Every structure is written in C-alpha cells, then in structure tokens.
Amino acid sequence: MSTHSITLKVNGEEHTREVEARLLLVHLIREELELTGTHIGCDTTSCGACTILLNGRPVKSCTMFAVQASGAEIASVEGLATNGNLHPIQEGFTEKHGLQCGYCTPGMMMTTVALLKDNPNPNEEDIRWGVAD
Amino acid sequence: MLYLDIVRSPYAHAKIKNINIEEALATPGVVSVVTGKDLDAHGLASMPTLMSDKQMVLPIDKVKYQAQEVAAVVATSRYAAADGVEAVEVDYEPLPVVVDPFKALEDGATKVRDDKDSNLIWHWETGDKDATDKVFDEADIVVEQSMYIPRIHVVSIETCGCVASFEPIEGKLTLYMTTQAPHAIRTVLALVAGHVGLSEEKIRVIAPDIGGGFGGKVPIYPGYIIAVAVSFLTGKPVKWIEDRSENLQADSFARDYHIKAALSAKKDGTLTAIKIKTVADHGYTDAAANPSKFPAGLFHICTGSYDFKQAHVEVDGVYTNKPPGGIAYRCSFRVTEAVHCLERMTDIMAHELDIDPAELRMKNFIRPEQFPYSSVLGWEYDSGDYEKALRKAMEMIEYDKLREEQKEKRARGELMGIGISSFTEVVGAGPSKDYDILGLKMFDSAEIRVHPTGKVMARFGTKSQGQGHETTYAQIIAEELGIPPEHIQIEEGDTDTAPYGLGTYASRSTPVAGAAGALAARKIHDKAKKIAAHLLEASEEDLEWEQGKFFVKGSPDRSKTIQEIAFAAYTNHPQGRSGHLLRPTQLDLSFRLLHLCRRHRPGHGRSQDPPFRRRGRLRCSHQPDDRRGADPWRSHDGDGARASRRDLL
Amino acid sequence: MIPASFDYTCPKTVAEAVSLLGQNPEAKILAGGHSLIPMMRFRMATPAMLVDINQLEGLSYIKEEGDWLEIGAMTRESELDRSELVRKSYSLLADTTRVIADPLVRNLATVGGNIAHADPANDHPATMLAYGAEVTATGPDGERSIPIGDFFLDAFTTSLSHDEILTAIRIPRAVEKSGGAYFKLERKVGDYATVAVAAQLVLNGDGKIASAGIGLTNVGLTPIKATAAEEALTGKVLDDASIKEAARLASEVAEPIEDQRGSEEYKRHLVRTFTSRALRKAQERAEGGGV
C-alpha cells in the first residue's frame, strides 16, 4: 500500500496532499479539499454526477485515482462562478429551471461548459450527444 | 467523525452460525464491529414498522433476504470501514428460500418468519362479494386477465445516508439525513429509541437538500438506526452513506402486485362490475410506507373514473425472502397498480366487444351531474367532467385521424398502437377518515412570519426532494399576500424550526401543506386588513384589496401597502392586535453590586486567606414607584433584592 | 465501493513498465481505467500493484503508415472520435468509437485498454476482427505482432504474457471501394451491447466482394469472427440472397446465452438482423454512398 505526495491545481489553486494510492479523485476533491459540489451518484462510472474537468476535458472523478491527477489542472463546479458572479451556464440553468433535485447538476454544468467550449453553437443532437450519448 | 459500513448477506435465507470479527477489529482504523447481539443488549436489534410489523436492524440468528444488513463496521475513515467489512467472516448455514408469493402460500412452504404461523401477513377485502358475484352471473360478457406489476427499486440519484451526532452533555441527537419525512422520522425514532433516553424533544432531524426521493426516502433503514446507536454509545458523530449497490439491493421497493381481475359488462358496453384478487409480495416484513387505514393502501380506487355499481377487491399480503418495502413511487399508495389493472381490463373489454376504447370509456364515465359521487368502494369524488376531458384530449391528438392512419398501416402489415388511459388519482394524503400513521392521522402545516420590512419567512412540515416547493409555496403565499415571491424565503426539513408535518410523498405537499400555507396567509391577510383600517382610519368594511395593498373604497390614493402594514404590525398597530408581542413600556435598567467583605482577625495585622469572599449579590431594578408594589415577579431574599418587571401589552 | 489497497507505480518508459510487470506477478496495467477501476471498486479485482501507463510517451497517435493505419494503445476513444482521418476513411472504426459507453468515459478510455481487457462485451474487439487488425505487444524481448484472430483466448484472457504491454493496434490501410459499419443494440446509453455486429467490405471493380470481415460482440466468451459468413460472401455480389445467407451463418457461429439482456433466440435474431444491416451499410459506404 503506497502513499504519494501529489500536487494539483483545483480551480486555479494549488494543493499538495499526501494520499493513499487507492484514494479516488472524487474523494480527494470532496473529503480532502472539501469541495462538496462534486457529487457521487452511482459509484460505478455511469451517472456523471461526479464530473469535473481534467485539463479541460470532462471526466468522471469517481473513476480515477487521486494520484493519477498529480500535476493536473482540475475544474469543479465551485470554480464556475467568478467574483461572486454566476457563470453563464449557471445563469442559464437557473433561468430555465434546468434542474429538479439538483444533485447531478454540477456534473451536468461541467459537461455543458466543456461541450460549449468545443462547439459554441450546438444543435439539439449535438447537445444530446455531448451530454450523454 | 466515525464512519459506518455494512456487512451484507449473500444469502436470501440463512442461519448465522458465527460472526468472527477478530480480523476486522485488527484492521487499521477499525474502531468496532456491531452485531445484532450488541444491539439486542440495548433493545435495538429490531424496530416496529409503520404497518405494526417487526423489522430487524441487525439479525441475531437468521437473515431473511439477500443483501440484508448482518453487521456494521465502525472506523475512523470510510476506507478503513470498507476494509473492515471485507475482514468480517460470517458463517452462514443456507436455508430454503421462498421468493414466489404463490409458492409461499402453499401448504408446507418454507416459513419466512419464525414468529408467525404462516407466510400470509393479512387478508383484506372490500366491497360486496355476493352482490358482485350476482352481477357477474347476470352479465352478458365477462373478461378476465392476470397481470404482474413487477417490483421496482426507485434509484434516486443520491443514495440514502445520514450523519448521526449525539451530544452526550446535552443528551441531544442531531440526525442529518436524506429523508422525505423528517418529523415522522423523529417521532418513529423516539418510539424506537425512547427507552434509551432519546425522547422526541431530544431529537433534531435535519433533512438538507436531498437528491431525489421517489418514496425511497420515507422508510427508516437499519443503517440509520445503527448510526444513531453507535453515535449514542460513542458520543461521536457517525456517518453512514449507502453506496449504489446497497441502494439497489436493499432499499424499499414499490409495486410487486400479482393481480387477477375480471370485468363484467352488458352487450351495449355498460360496465357492470369488477372483481380483483391480488397477491401482494411484501418481502420478509410488512414495512410498507403506507399511511392509509387499509393494508393495501388506496388500491380500492380501482373503480377509477367509471360508474361501477358493484365491485369486490381481495388482497393477500405475503411474506417472501426479499427486502421489505411498499412505497409510493410515482403516485399514491397502490393507486398505480389499481389504475393499471382497471385500464387494462377496460381495453380488453373494448377489444372483446369491438367497441372503440375511447367510446367504451366515454359510455362509462361518472357523469358531471353525478358529482359529488360516492364510489361503490367508498371514495368520495368532489367534481369532474371526465367525458369533456377525454373529448378534448382526443381533439388535441386528432384521434379520428390517428385511427384512420392505423387502419391504413395495418392494411399494409405495419403495426401501430393507440393507447388511452384515464386516471383518478387519490392525492393529498389525507383525510383522517381514510388515513392514519402511528395514530397521528395525517395533516401538514405551515408557519409564516412577516418581517417588519414586509419580507417573509415561511416554514413547512414537508420536505422537497426537487419538486420545487421553494417556488410553489412562495407563489401561493405571494398570491395571498401580494408580496413578491422573491421576498419569500421557504424553509423545510429541520424539525427544530419547521412546524410538524408528515412529509413529502404521494403527491401530497401542494394540496396539503400548500393549502395550509394559503390558510395561514389568509389569516395574516385578515390581520393586515385590521391594521390597514387602523392606519387609514377607515372601517374594515370600507377597505378593498388589490394585489399588495389595501385602499379605501372610492379613494385609491388612501392606501397602505402590505409592506407598510407589516412595518406597522411591529410599530403601530391597533390595541389588542399585536398577537403575543411583548412591548415593554420602559427599558429594563438593572445594576449589580458585588458586595465584598474583608474580614479582619482581631489583633492580627494581615488579612485571612482567602482575602476576599463573595458575600452576596444585590440586584435591583430601577422601578417606577407607583408600580412596584404590584409587580408579581418581584422577590426578596436575605442577600439582596431581586426584582424584575415585565410589561405585557 | 472502496477499492482494496495497492501499490501504485507510474513508469516513464515502456521498458520500465515491462520490467515492473515482470517483477510483480500480481501487478495490473492501468490504462484508461474505465473497466479496471469499477472492478476494483467492487473488489472483483484486487491487484497488489498498478502500473499506470498513462505517462508513457509516444503511445497516443493515429497515423497511416505503409499498408496500415496505426493507432497508439493509449489513444483515447474521444481522440478516435474526433479524428478526421478515421471519420473519412475508417467508417467502421468511427461507428464503433461513437457507441462505446458515453462521452465522459470516452475522454479517458483507451483503444488499447478496450482490446486488452478482452471483455467479450467490449466493442473494439469485434471491429478489429472484422478489419483483420494486428496487435503490437511489447515485452522484455521487444515488440511482436499478434494477428487479432489469435489474440482473444477466453473471456478476459488474451495471448499477451504478463509482462507484455499492448502498445499499438494496426488496421489494414483503407483502400478504394472499402467501407464498414457497426450496429449495436444497447438497452440504454452507456450499456454494454445486447448484441453488436461489425462488418467491413472491400469491393472489386465489378462490384463483387473482394473480401468481407464480420465480427460479433457479446455473443460468446470471446468476440467472434464469423469466418463462414465472410467466406460465403467473398466473390459474390451483395444482394438479398447473399446477405441472408451471411446473416444466417453469422447467427449460427454466435454462442449467446440467455441473460437479463435477452434470450438466446432473441440474440441470434439480433445477430441476423444486424449482420444484414451492417453489410448493407458497409456496401453503401464502399460504393461512396455515405459515411
């Protein structure tokens, strides 16, 4: 059972932690860094509630070990708003009631941010494909 | 914080011969391993269900379903707890399993429960059997069908879990949990754990924002009780969050009704009677989250939207080696099952009679002039025009055109189906005639506070899981009081602050708590009118209301907004209209003297040790002389005088 | 859902990785991790060591070289999905990549991992069988090439030795009048295939089939190459009769078992249906009629 010193940037802030090899990235984010906006829904790489951006690409943080993210730049939902202003995606979700219980919403928003970065004018099919298909 | 993880049974029915916890206890980070015997020592190994059955928290001798909780590992981290679970060795002796409720009812079937005579939990029937049979005997046509509405698990995106935090000094438990019914949970916990000192005023349940419920977050699962027990015994907060596999395997189910139905009719399509026999698979205990007075919930809404003269329903509740449950998923209690059965039978009858299924429904709907209508199985329907609704729906989908299209397609060998269903749903649980839960009947409540600036804090006994109560309730209050919804803060889920309510499930929150909110808002509205009259020096009869303000009839300029009235309610209200506001007429000025006495021993030049002793305390109120004698709170004692003044308006 | 403890290593070179594998018989390779990590979370896999090959240089590329399209083992599915070259000339591969799991998984999951994991429900294996691909394995003695037909030995078992790493996969370079298609039925997005069929056709100048490749997903312990169906098509014109016969032969070689995704009969029916559809689509594409 190895432990590792890792350094990674989360929402622009650098963190160094001593972690057990098996610590999942989502647990590092939630428990160690106390960024609890990233949620755990399925535990098994299905639902996407735990989606974060890893070097700009949306991935499921439940299916990666924290040690693998050493040196990476991570963006979580907490990093969307800047200077107290909601990110346009957050504004959009609010305005259009784009949530019910809101549990998976952080994952949906992170995925959406990445989708729009790749494709600023998606049609419905692009959105369906980009979010879940 | 301590973390809990649970050892679960790989067997659906087995004797627990031994639980070896040595290796688990030796696992780094593991604090303890809790078994049924440990809980039994505190009288917590089992708990009553809402249906007055018995549910194991942790088993002492046998497991009754696959994935049942067998032991719990308490550790300093979630990871260590999981390692501990791996290290617990349970020696099982597998027993014969019964998972088919029909087989469970056969003679000689494996008995699921040692404390019961058979696997039949209860038999319930309603309606006039003989009269119904007679109608069937006289019917032109009878159709029959068996159908199975399978067991489902609801899979809210957030699994269930809690942090139980018992504070030994205060003797108070705070339980943060993903529950749809925080107050009911508090009451049940007090009933389960009252004997160890957790009485209701010592329990605070807080349901924060929760990730979906669908009925699955109404029950109390063993994990909650174990977490509470461990926190109680250790004095430390304990976190238990089930993972998705546990949620899928062990949490409460919905449905699982095996239905056999018969429908009778005249040749012209008049439906005359319905008979239903159902075998309800409840798993190893009857833990249905069913607050009605009927064991099969509201299943006897099965005459639906049609005017049946006779009906008879029988339901047998059966034990099997499956997880318990019976929750209101996507509808009230067993209404989905009832409606599915009836509508399917109606379609079969339409097919048999070769009558268009829409026409058959139209012919049998309860007519507008029959309302208020009493169904043959005892439900009161207040109003409706079902035929009009169906005609409207048919127009909207261009029903006739669809039928034409279907005919053409069928001629070409292409299949196309058109489905129609009407649904009389019983929601808003519920009137005490039909509902009860732990003797509480059913109700819900709202508490509205209007702040001096006209902003509102409203608290409810329900608990949103994503339904948007914050929006709905704010809109209701906004409509009643003319205060913008964005100035209305809605709170639910904290039993220390919210008024008592039965929670959110089975489509009850808006009709019950929302209505309570409207009634409370109307009381405030009435009071506001009195204050407005006082402010405007007009009589109440002369005031008119338009959204957000009262004005004097014929003088729209003479008006007071609800915000002005709110301010006046704290500052300038008519005599006798302040509610229980305490309004002192004068400041309470008190001063204290610390009376210090220095003792000298005669002939001795230095002070005694300790040099100072507190002699006493003198506290006086500055008091207008004319009222002193009348003050009932004033008291005197030898050390000084204590006096205080309260001035109740 | 917490994995058991393990030692983590992150070699910088293939040689170092191979050496670590050689020294640690209980070690597993961690590539995209989207099969391995869930299995570890269920504790169905409890490797004593992980050899993370994500930091190895030079294993992520898509390029045509000589007679082959060469793909580095650590190429992410999303990179395949975005590759213009793949979209333009390798329609079967493009089809396959797009139906693997979901877009988030595809951002980390690798083509090498999809093949080396040898899950008969994975999608690339059948496609590689249809293409007649070759796998490059790198071990202590250097590289060797393994024809894909010799690669899958059993469920989750390949002909790689413990200290070999799948470093590349190569597909015969696209020729004129060639095309393919992948048809997959999944119960929901992100599910494994109930049944999927990969078909690749190369047509002669006269429109007859020069060569056919058909691979079947999740209808046996390994991905299955429908050799008899391929042979029956060779030299023929693709018409109703030849399609029907090929579909029949493909469904015969399938070995599906009844499970929660359907009965054996249903799955054989799907093999027939999808073989027909994939062949028609492959031909349409080979004739330049669509992507």
Q: Please name the helix (run of DSSP H) or strand (run of DSSP E) that holds residue B514, with its range, or none.
A: none
| Residue B637 φ/ψ, nearest 5 degrees | -140, 180
Q: In this complex, do A60 and C52 lie within 8 Å of one another by their Cβ atoms?
A: no
Rounded-to-integer distance, Cα A120 and Cα B5, Å: 45
Which of B78, B86, B244 is opposite residue C43, by nearest beta carbon?
Answer: B86
**Token pair for B495:** 């039993």
Whether C5 has its CB under 8 Å from any CB of chain B: the answer is yes
List chain C residues with CB under 8 Å of A50: none
Q: In this complex, do A63 and C37 lie within 8 Å of one another by their Cβ atoms?
A: yes
List chain B residues with CB under 8 Å of A42: 244
- The pLDDT mean for chain A works out to 96
What is the predicted pLDDT for the residue at B576? Answer: 61
Rounded-to-integer distance, Cα B289 and Cα B219, Å: 6
Rounded-to-integer distance, Cα B155 and Cα B157, Å: 6
What is the predicted pLDDT for the residue at B5? Answer: 98
List chain B residues with CB under 8 Å of A41: 157-158, 211, 244
Note whether B278 and B258 are within 8 A (CB): yes
- The pLDDT mean for chain C works out to 97
Which of C8, C33, C50 is opposite residue A63, by nearest beta carbon?
Answer: C33
Q: In this complex, do A100 and B212 lie within 8 Å of one another by their Cβ atoms?
A: yes
Crossing angle, helix A105-118 and helix A88-95, to 10 degrees? 120
What is the predicted pLDDT for the residue at C290? Answer: 57
Nearest to B456 by CA among B388, B528, B504, B389: B528
List chain A residues with CB under 8 Å of B210: 101, 103
**Token pair for B158:** 């957030």
Condensed to tens digits (0 to 9), the pLDDT of residues B85-143 reads 999 999 999 999 999 999 999 999 999 999 999 999 999 999 999 999 999 999 999 99
Nearest to C20 by CA among B339, A2, B583: A2
Rounded-to-integer distance, Cα B185 and Cα B213, Å: 15
Identity of the residue numbered A78: E
In terms of Cβ atoms closer than 10 Å to its own Cβ (0-12, 13-18, 19+), residue A18 is exposed
Task: Quickly count: other Cβ atoms within 10 Å of residue B60's Cβ.
Answer: 13
Task: Quickly count: other Cβ atoms within 10 Å of residue B110's Cβ.
Answer: 15
Identity of the residue numbered A47: C
**Token pair for C38:** 């869930």
Q: Please name the helix (run of DSSP H) or strand (run of DSSP E) that holds residue B566, with its range, or none.
A: helix B562-571
* Cα distances (angstroms) measured from residue C179 to each of B593, C97, C134, C250: 100, 15, 18, 19
Note whether B235 and B223 are within 8 A (CB): no
Decide if pLDDT at A2 tops 90. Answer: yes
Whether A96 has its CB under 8 Å from any CB of chain B: the answer is no
**Chains with 3 or more CB pairs closer than 8 angstroms to C?**
A, B
Crossing angle, helix B562-571 and helix B515-536, to 10 degrees? 70
Considering only residues B592 and C60, tell me which one the structure prediction assigns the higher pLDDT.
C60
Pairing of strands B253-254, B152-153: antiparallel
**Token pair for A105:** 């919403």
Q: In this complex, do C6 and A67 lie within 8 Å of one another by their Cβ atoms?
A: no
Which residues lie closer than 8 Å to B66 by C-beta, 6 or more apart?
B9, B10, B11, B12, B249, B321
Q: In this complex, do B158 and A97 lie within 8 Å of one another by their Cβ atoms?
A: no
Instruction: Measure in Å the smallest separation between the Cα of B441 and chain A Cα atoms.
Output: 29
Q: In this complex, do B157 and A101 lie within 8 Å of one another by their Cβ atoms?
A: yes
Q: In this complex, do B211 and A102 lie within 8 Å of one another by their Cβ atoms?
A: yes
| Residue B311 φ/ψ, nearest 5 degrees | -160, 150
Q: In this complex, do A104 and B157 lie within 8 Å of one another by their Cβ atoms?
A: yes
| CATH topology for the A3-131 domain | Ubiquitin-like (UB roll) (3.10.20)
CATH numbers and ranges of domains, chain C:
7-52 (3.30.43.10), 62-172 (3.30.465.10), 181-286 (3.30.390.50)
Task: Quickly count: other Cβ atoms within 10 Å of residue B268's Cβ.
Answer: 9
**Token pair for C94:** 């493009």
Please state which architecture CATH assigns to domain B2-95+155-250: Alpha-Beta Complex (3.90)
Q: Please name the helix (run of DSSP H) or strand (run of DSSP E) that holds residue C49, with its range, or none.
A: strand C49-52
B120-151+253-411 belongs to CATH 3.30.365.10: yes
Note whether B363 and B353 are within 8 A (CB): no
Across chain A, how many H-helices and E-strands are there?
Answer: 4, 5
Which of B83, B86, B245 is opposite residue C1, by nearest beta carbon?
Answer: B245
Whether C50 has its CB under 8 Å from any CB of chain A: the answer is yes
Stretches in chain B below the pLDDT threshold 50: 592-649
Please state which architecture CATH assigns to domain B443-581: 2-Layer Sandwich (3.30)
Identity of the residue numbered C222: T
Nearest to C174 by CA among C289, C291, C64: C64
Note whether C115 and C185 are within 8 A (CB): no
List chain B residues with CB under 8 Å of A43: 243-245
Which of B78, B210, B245 is opposite residue A101, by nearest beta carbon?
Answer: B210
- Span C250-279, mean pLDDT? 97
Q: Which sequence spans correspond to the domains of chain B? A: 2-95+155-250, 120-151+253-411, 443-581, 590-642
Q: Which sequence spans correspond to the domains of chain A? A: 3-131
Whether B212 has its CB under 8 Å from any CB of chain A: the answer is yes
- The structure tokens 């030994």 sit at B168
Q: In this complex, do B79 and A22 lie within 8 Å of one another by their Cβ atoms?
A: yes
List chain A residues with CB under 8 Å of C189: 132-133
Instruction: Measure in Å the smallest separation between the Cα of A119 and chain B Cα atoms.
Output: 28
Q: Please name the helix (run of DSSP H) or strand (run of DSSP E) that holds residue B274, with its range, or none.
A: strand B271-281
